[in-house]
Structure 1
Amino acid sequence: MKIETYKTPEEALRATSEALASVIKKSKSKPFHLALSGGTTAQALFKLWAEEYKELIPWNNLRFYWVDERCVSPDDDESNYKHADLLLFTPLAISSNHIHRIWGEQEPKVEAERYSEMVKWELPGYSSTPRFDCVILGVGTDGHVASIFPNDINLLTDRRIYAVSQHPITGQQRITMTGPVILKSSAILIPVIGKEKQEIMEQIAHKAKEYPASYILAHSPAAMVFTDREVN
């Protein structure tokens, strides 16, 4: 597990962005397949990319996918796609042909299967587990990654590409990338910022308990964490 600590959230997000730019530059993949996450940290990252990385990343070479999505319509405020569209795709004039959203408005199990098949066709490795060039993950205060929550720990080893999960408190259904697909990614970049993430970062760093986030970090040498939290 590699953790880089910075003084401010902005520095941590810029370090994440520089790492992405470096991965893209070194990659021989054309197009470059990038899976995005949602949440407030991702939104801050998208805004930074649109403002400061417009000319520093070859956006036209990227193809965009989602690590997870809430089962809501694309115009819902909880939609991960909606925020990416407002903060990143529209400002950078990303072609709609380069964006592969999860249809959160569809029946969850059917959509998980459709999206899995689409990803298998678009990415290298159809006969086995598809390999993303890079996955951007977040870490929840409960230690979840993607939409793999502590009560859905079996999804960390599920052989499907995408599956349906359920938020343990709200009961909201979500469609999420499974653990094996996350772990096969060539690069896994994980920005973790904010005071509310202090406790979970310390628990993960000290291996106090098995969380989905700690599982991914323990099983992937490609995972890098960028944080503004000092871990004691």
Structure 2
Amino acid sequence: MSAGAPGAAPLAVVHPDATVLAEAAAARLLTRLLDAQSVRTPVHAVLTGGTVGIKTLEAVAASPLRGAVDWSGVHLWWGDERFLPDGDPDRNESQARAALVDALIADSGLPEDHVHAMPARGAVVGGVTVETPEQSAAAYAAELAAFAEAGGPSGDSPAAVPAFDVLLLGMGPDGHVASLFPGHDGLTARGATVGVHGSPKPPPERVSLTFDALRRAREVWVVAAGAEKAAQAAAALAGGPVVDVPAAGARGTERTLWLLDAAAAG
């Protein structure tokens, strides 16, 4: 897999600090959902975890623009998840629910069945208890495929997923996005999802969208803050090899944005 990943070339937008970055990303996300709803319904957004990702969701919750979105026509997905029991505070879903999602369900008309969490360890899906990351990944791939018809894959893409209107990603100091880590087998996984073992960042077991799925998004936004991420952000924006800098392979079909604070921009 080369640095010349398919999709739109990245554009970097730099904000002065992590707080402004999260607030700006929240405003941009709400505007993106409104713009998408002006031309199609439903719309699909992929959420991310991490410090800035959750701060972005908190900023969405506090924004007066939040009420302008028709949340009954929005579906929420995740780019990756820690393979932990339901409700574990380290799950991206748990943190996103506390920051935004539960409030949207309670008072903004977001249907509970529009919240598509990756199955947790011990969840029962189709009468089967999910005991491995691979089982969770397979169940999530099936759910993604159920919504793929209207904006499904074309050409030689093997990922049956919605054409996500916006897909948010954080980036680790090692350049990973979702749970696709440098040198790991998940980088070359085909289809929509992959079970991850031996993650260098705990917990070791995770579930992730693949590059096949990430690259189906109309817009991909990588949101990163902190000086410890500057070297990998620069390498990814310069087109570094995906095997070493997975973030370099995260591209949208129409737009790829890097939303950085000044420290991450280096």
Using structure 2 for the length normalisation, give the TM-score. Answer: 0.78
- Preserved contact between residue 120 and residue 126 of structure 1 (Cα < 8 Å): no
Q: Does 1:34 align with 2:21?
A: no
SS of the residue 2:191 aligns to: coil
Matches within 5 A, 1:184-195: 184-195=216-227
Task: Output the CA distance in 1 between the equivalents of 2:84 and 2:203.
Answer: 13
Deviations, residues 173-220 of structure 1 (Å, cap 9, x unaligned): 111000011011011122111233233223333456641001225x86
Q: Does 1:182 align with 2:214?
A: yes
Q: Does 1:21 align with 2:55?
A: no
Matches within 5 A, 1:140-159: 140-152=172-184, 154-159=185-190
What residue is the counterpart of 1:116 in the other structure?
141
Task: Give percent identity, aligned residues only.
Answer: 23
Task: Output the CA distance in 2 between the equivalents of 1:184 and 1:37.
Answer: 16
What residue is the counterpart of 1:162 in the other structure?
193
SS of the residue 1:74 aligns to: coil
What residue is the counterpart of 1:85 in the other structure?
97
Return closer, same or farther for 1:112/1:228 CA change in 2, 3 Å cut-off: same
What residue is the counterpart of 2:4 in the other structure?
none
What residue is the counterpart of 2:87 in the other structure?
75
- The letter of the residue matching 1:100 is H
Task: Output the CA distance in 1 between the equivalents of 2:90 and 2:228.
Answer: 20
Deviations, residues 131-152 of structure 1 (Å, cap 9, x unaligned): 2222111111110000000022
SS of the residue 1:65 aligns to: strand
Aligned residues: 230
Task: Output the CA distance in 2 between the equivalents of 1:55 and 1:195.
Answer: 35
SS of the residue 1:76 aligns to: coil
Unaligned runs of 5+ in 1: none
* TM-fit CA distance, 1:20: 2.1
Deviations, residues 93-146 of structure 1 (Å, cap 9, x unaligned): 233121111112122211211110110112331785322222111111110000
* TM-fit CA distance, 1:32: 0.8
- The letter of the residue matching 1:59 is W
What residue is the counterpart of 2:260 in the other structure?
227
Task: Output the CA distance in 2 between the equivalents of 1:122 and 1:69.
Answer: 20
- Preserved contact between residue 157 and residue 180 of structure 1 (Cα < 8 Å): no
Question: Alignment partner for residue 120 of structure 2, among 88, 104, 113?
Answer: 104
Moved more, 26-35 or 177-186: 26-35
Moved more, 59-68 or 172-181: 59-68
Return closer, same or farther for 1:11/1:165 CA change in 2, 3 Å cut-off: same
* TM-fit CA distance, 1:170: 4.0
Unaligned runs of 5+ in 2: 1-9, 122-129
- Preserved contact between residue 8 and residue 228 of structure 1 (Cα < 8 Å): yes
Deviations, residues 52-108 of structure 1 (Å, cap 9, x unaligned): 142243322211111111100121121111011111112222331211111121222
Task: Output the CA distance in 1 between the equivalents of 2:253 and 2:146.
Answer: 24
Return closer, same or farther for 1:59/1:171 CA change in 2, 3 Å cut-off: closer
